Amino acid sequence: MAPVFPRRSLVLRTIGILAAALGCAKPPSAGGPRIAEVTRRDIVVSAIAAGAVEPIITVEVKSKASGEIVGVLVEEGDAVRAGQLLVRVDPRIPNNAVLQAEADSVVARAELDNAEAQLARSEALHQSQAITDLELENARLARASAYAALVRSRRTLEDAKIALEDTEVRAATDGVILGRAVEVGSVIQSASSNVGGGAVLMRMASLDTVRVRALVDETDIGMIEPAMPVTIQVASFPNRPFRGEVERIGAESVVLQNVTMFPVLIHIANPDGLLRPGMNAEVQVHIGEIRNTLAVPNSALRTPEDAVLIAEQLGLGVEDLGLDPEELGPPDRNGRGGDDARRPGAQGQGQGGRSGSGMRRATLFGGEYIVFVLREGRPRATRVRAGLTDFDYTAISAGLEAGDSVLLLPTAGLLEEQQRRESWARERAGSPLGGQ
């Protein structure tokens, strides 16, 4: 005949075995579950990711002038100011065009003066009826044509001067030369007249402010928001952390080795120019932080659905939980309330009380849970208000006090499995073979 144990002793022994299986701790000699004391601690939540430094805006420097490059005045890595001369293109043809346009403008001015004098004489002769109306109209037309020729010559002169200025390629903004693609003697085509857009002479960017494009795991991306503070570490300066903030979160995911990630752009001030494009960076997004707060291990928190099964194992009734029927949800196939998919402890509960993504979202931004507290040596269900969690410990804002002793309990799934094993063991013990 199988030995008979008191219900309480059996329950404590069962939970002790399960707690040991979870890796929480060794059970006490009495066979009870692990007990943790409610203490004050710091809760810091961060998301770690890797990325690379990149400039916010990169400028491709091209030339509007065509011809041979006769001078390159900067090298890769040089810091330049807006308006600084970078490249000089052969100016001889544009300079000759300016000289020709100046001469044409002088001729056009003289022709206009002559046409105006002719028009004045024609008007005087017309008043004395010495010439016909047609001759007067021809004089006026000649004056208008001369004026149009002067405007064309002035425009041609201005265009020639602009073309001459374009032979000197200057920096549009302050920045650093990232790389150059031409040398003295290279022949280039105009970027404005060439169908292909012309040759890129060099690339430059402003490095006063840079950004890191980091890939964050999809399990953490829901906790990240714009303007969150970020700490950046680079291998070049291991003892100097850089500060930044989340600029925006990419809309499209990136899959690397079957892991779904999302790009997060981090804005970083770089007044000293220490961060350079291409540097590998490790970023730590500071999601939340609470100092000196009451906290309990995550394995002490239970949803109402989990609490019902735990209460059965501890010899408590559903009425001892103080729950409304609506909180339990629709019955599952075993007759108990709630859906296992909604139980934080039923998804991904692992060593140290870590739970799945549902637990992360729920406890990160707060929620109500049930904790079993020892009162006068007996477990009692207590409602608590949970706050920020680092996935090992959760801040408690209401329901517990420092020094309270809470039970660290397994998940409902493990308890159900243990019940099945014990039922099987009792059946074996009651059988003729088991009684031998």
Return the half-sphere exposure (C-beta side, CA atoms, 13 A cut-off) of residue 223: 29
For β-strands 85-89 and 67-72, DSSP reports them as: antiparallel
The tokens describing 181, both together, are 């693609």
Cβ pair 90, 67 in contact under 8 A = yes
The share of the chain scoring above pLDDT 70, in percent, equals 75
Cβ pair 396, 5 in contact under 8 A = no
Q: Which domains does the chain have, with CATH numbers?
A: 7-44+293-430 (2.40.420.20), 48-56+206-287 (2.40.30.170), 60-89+167-204 (2.40.50.100), 92-166 (1.10.287.470)
Per residue in 227-282, pLDDT (tens digit) is 999 999 999 999 999 999 999 999 999 999 899 999 999 999 998 889 999 999 99
Q: Which pTM does this prediction carry?
A: 0.60
Per-residue pLDDT at 60: 92
Q: Which of 40-54, 223-237, 298-312, 380-394 comes out lowest in average pLDDT?
A: 298-312
Average pLDDT score over the chain: 80
For residues 238 and 394, give the distance between their C-alpha atoms in angstroms, rounded to a whole number. 31
User: If pLDDT is split at 50, 70 and 90, which confidence band does 408 have?
Assistant: confident
CB atoms within 10 A of CB 313: 22
Q: DSSP secondary-structure letter at 338?
A: S
Q: DSSP secondary-structure letter at 171?
A: -
**What letter represents residue 223's amino acid?**
M
Q: At residue 136, does pLDDT exceed 90?
A: yes
